Amino acid sequence: MATTINQEIDARGSFCPGPLMEMIRAIRESSVGQTVAVLSKDPGSRTDIPAWVAKARHEMVAIEDLDGYTRFVVTKAR
Amino acid sequence: MSEQTQQKMAIVLFSGTADKLQAAVTIISGAAAMGVSTHVFLTFWGLAAFRRDMAGVPAPMSPEYGELGVQMGKLMQTKGVPAWRDVLDMAIDVGEVHVHACAMTADLLELGKDDLDPVVEDLIGVGSFVEMTRDAQTFFI
């Protein structure tokens, strides 16, 4: 079953650390169990978003490499 | 990494040029995101960049890089690198960031707390800063 995305943020125009900050804000404003997707062109996001997700103990649902950008899908776990 | 472990970072921000301010706030934002409590000590040019009357005034690039610095500044603009002051606000929004002004520099420049960016929490002496960040990872920028 595909995960329902509750909010998708296009942070492709945003430079480091913008996409990570967008992810943190969106997860903070979500309810537990909700899922957020962030689109990023920042290569740093590739390591930073998973590192933050692990540290903040949420769930990294998917990291999808698309056409020149990456889509990070995270579910708020707590 | 245990949540119980108190992690701290200290940044002595001495520089007031655009490239170094950008580097400082980017590290601060990373620390804020990763739950590391960060204390920033603004001294000399770093404090001058936080004067209230400097708000919105673009800082110059570091002169030691000459033409390369100028090119870097242009690149930062073209690529839409966010303003350093906005990155600091993002960091403060997501994590624990404390900004302190060096009392000695403030005295030298005849600046009171009201002359500084409202993000500055207090004017403290270097002794207090060192004591406050005794167990911190420290950077001098």
Whether B33 has a pLDDT exceeding 60, the answer reads: yes
The answer to whether position A63 is within a domain reads yes
Q: Which tens digits make up the pLDDT trace of B38-64?
A: 999 999 999 999 999 999 898 999 999
Q: Which residues of A touch B33 (CB under 8 A)?
A: 17, 20-21, 24, 48, 52
Q: Which tens digits make up the pLDDT trace of A30-56?
A: 999 999 999 999 999 999 999 999 999
Q: How far, rounded to the nearest angstrom, does the alpha carbon of residue B36 sit from its chain's CA centroid?
A: 15
Which residue range is the domain that position B63 belongs to?
Answer: 8-13+38-134
Tell me how many domains chain A contains. 1
CA distance B139 to B88: 16
The answer to whether position A1 is within a domain reads no
CATH code assigned at A34 = 3.30.110.40
The answer to whether position B28 is within a domain reads no
Report the pLDDT averaged over residues B87-105: 96
Q: Which residues of B touch A24 (CB under 8 A)?
A: 33, 94
CATH code assigned at B121 = 3.40.1260.10
Tell me how many domains chain B contains. 1
